[in-house]
Amino acid sequence: MQLIESATEIKERATDWFDSVTEYAEARWNLGVLELSEKAAKSVSNFASALIIGIIGGLMMFFMSLGLAWYIGQKLDNMPLGFVIVGFIYGLIGVVLYTIRERFIKLPIINTFIKNFYYEK
C-alpha cells in the first residue's frame, strides 16, 4: 500500500513540476514575444519619424536650392549657370558624404539598430 501511495505521490509531484515548467516556458515565450513586439514597434516608429523629418528636410533643401540657384543666376546674369553651380555644390557634398559614409552614416545607423534591439533602456 505504501509503495502505491509513494508512486502516486511521485506521479503527482512530477505532474505538478511538469505543469510549472510548462507555465514558466509559456510565460517566457509570451514575454519574449511582447519584448520583440515592443522593439519592432519602436523601430518602425523611429523609421517613420525619420522618414517624415527626411521628407520635410528634403522639401526644405529643394526650395532653398532653387532659391540659391535663382539668386546666383541673377547675380551672374545667366540663370542656367546658377543652377549648374548649385548642381556642382551638391556633387561635391555627395563626394564628401560618399568618402565618410562608413564612419558617419553606416556605423551610427547600425549602432542605433543594435541598441534598440539588444539593450534595455
C-alpha 80/C-alpha 63 separation (Å) is 16
Sequence ranges of the domains in the chain: 2-118
Which residue is listed with cell 539593450? Answer: 119
Give mean pLDDT, residues 7-13. Answer: 82
- Per the model's pLDDT, the better-predicted residue between 9 and 97 turns out to be 97
Q: Is the per-residue pLDDT at 2 higher than 80?
A: no
**Measured between alpha carbons, how far is 45 from 112 in angstroms, rounded to an integer?**
13
As a whole number, mean pLDDT of residues 43-59 equals 93
> Using CA atoms, how far apart are residues 37 and 34, in angstroms rounded to an integer?
5
Q: What is the pLDDT of residue 111?
A: 85
Alpha helices by DSSP H, the chain: 2-75, 79-99, 101, 107-118
Classify residue 69 by burial, with Cβ atoms within 10 Å: 0-12, 13-18, 19+.
buried
pTM summary value: 0.66
> What band does 17 get if pLDDT is binned at 50, 70 and 90?
very high
Do residues 87 and 66 make contact, with C-beta atoms less than 8 angstroms apart?
no
Please give the pLDDT value at position 42. 85
